[in-house]
A and B are shown apart, each in its own frame.
Chain A
Amino acid sequence: MSIPGLHLTRIGSDDFLLEATRSLNIRDQDRLLEGIASRLQQARASRLYYDLSEQALIDPVYYAWLDALARTIRAINVEMVCIHMQPTAAFALAQFIREKPAFETALDIFGWQKTGQ
């Protein structure tokens, strides 16, 4: 079952990679959250890598979407790691967040695995 606006690919035994496409409609948040959580739960996933390489800017709306996704999947024991965050996106995001995000961050999948986290 595919979820419109994103590709969810299994990488390794318990890990998934989420790549958002330009057509991702985060206003349809509830349906997206349910779809992703259901897919991860069925596959007994333990980690979701969210690829942000195509996201040049993260505004409060997009951050709210990332935050909601991280909290939702944490409820089913899946941790979310954002990878490939662009300098412009990190710059913008650092301006308005006040607390530690609900997700972890890493340069890439390899970087996350290397640190043994």
Chain B
Amino acid sequence: MAQQKKPETASSKLTELLKLQVGSISETIEKEGQTLFGGSNNLLGTDEINDFCIEFLQLLVALLESRDPHDDASPQFHALEMYFNNLSKQILVRGGRVEDLVRYIQFMQRTLIDALGNDKRSTVEDARSMLLFLSGLFNELILAVFQAYLDEKERTVYAQEAELRETATPITEIWDGVLTLPIIGTLDSSRTMLVMEALLNRIAKDHANAVVIDLTGVKNIDSQVSHHLIQMVRAVQLMGSDAIITGIRPEIARALISLNIDMSNVTTRASLSDGLKEAFRRMGIQVSHKAA
């Protein structure tokens, strides 16, 4: 029982201390916030920093006044964690560094510990409990910041991947109702599925009668991908369009044969230009030199 009472005592004393010294604590952390994120760094405005400091202290008091401030599953703890998570995202998106955020959180911790030193009534045991509590709490907050940092990095990588995919597979309407899809680089299953999805949607959108898929830039192909390629052709045909595959390199042709891929329902042509001629022929389009 005595052990259970200690954290309550420590947290209530900490709350009392915070309320007594809220002005000076807030001022100190605001000043440091201005140095790290304000002014020429231009990451947060003065009002934003002030609001942030006030909200942080409010959330901290709410946690200290909760039933069990040590409970990291409590809504108050979660609110504080989310608050730091969101602040980190905001700063990172604006080009801030995660190191500065971590230093700032450590500074806040130090400020609170310094404030403890001003309270002459606390016993050594109280101070120890408060220090332990603060160190546990701020470790968790630093973890929340790192989590936000990793999420942000992951999001950036995904966005870059998506952009790369889009630029690597440009679907172009080269003539009314004729789409071309030059595929460059290595085809893997996930990319093939994405290309297939984009192509089918484009056929529906543009009402394309023929699609020329050019594989000149494809260096190698495996069994799974070749099956996906055949599925792509089949899906295009099911939508009512003609699919023509062009530019199959000899090594790819050999790989397709050795993988026993049935190409009987697939129209192939040697080059992209032959593929286009075939598409035009099927659509009854004639392209000729201007008569002299």
Contacts and interface: CB of A to CB of B under 8 A. Distances in A.
B97 interface: no
Contact of B240 (A85, A94, A116): A85
Given A87-B201, A107-B209, A115-B282, A101 B240 contact: no
Interface in B141-166: none
Interface in A81-117: 82-83, 85-91, 93-95, 97, 100-101, 105-108, 111-112, 114-116
Interface stretch (B6-14, B101-109, B116-124, B231-239): B231-239
A94 B231 contact: yes
B197 A87 contact: yes
Interface string B233-249: 01111111100000000
B265 interface: yes
Contacts of A82: 238, 240
Main secondary structure of the interface of A (DSSP, over half): mixed
A115 B177 CA distance: 12
B200 A111 contact: no
Contact of A115 (B208, B209, B231, B235): B209
Contacts of B239: 85, 87, 90, 105, 107
A111 B232 contact: no
Contact of A91 (B200, B208, B237): B200
Given A107-B209, A115-B282, A91 B235 contact: yes
B207 interface: yes
Interface in B21-65: none
A94 B207 contact: no
Interface of A: 82-83, 85-91, 93-95, 97, 100-101, 105-108, 111-112, 114-116
Interface in B202-247: 203-204, 207-209, 231-232, 234-241
Interface of B: 196-197, 200-201, 203-204, 207-209, 231-232, 234-241, 265, 282-284
Contacts of A106: 240
Nearest to B207: A107
B179 to A, nearest CB: 12
A111 B204 CA distance: 12
A86 B201 CA distance: 8
B203 A105 contact: no
Contacts of B196: 91
B240 A107 contact: yes
Nearest to B233: A94
Given A95-B231, A100-B265, A115-B282, A90 B209 contact: no
Contacts of A88: 200
B235 A105 contact: no
Given A83-B240, A111-B240, 18 more contacts: A82-B238, A87-B203, A87-B204, A89-B238, A90-B236, A90-B238, A90-B239, A91-B235, A94-B232, A94-B238, A101-B238, A105-B238, A105-B239, A107-B208, A108-B207, A111-B209, A114-B209, A116-B284
A97 B234 contact: yes
A100 to B, nearest CB: 6
B209 A94 contact: no
13 contacts: A87-B200, A87-B235, A87-B239, A90-B238, A91-B200, A93-B238, A106-B240, A107-B208, A107-B239, A107-B241, A111-B240, A112-B240, A114-B283
A90 B207 contact: no
Nearest to B241: A107
B260 to A, nearest CB: 13
Contacts of B238: 82, 85, 89-90, 93-94, 101, 105
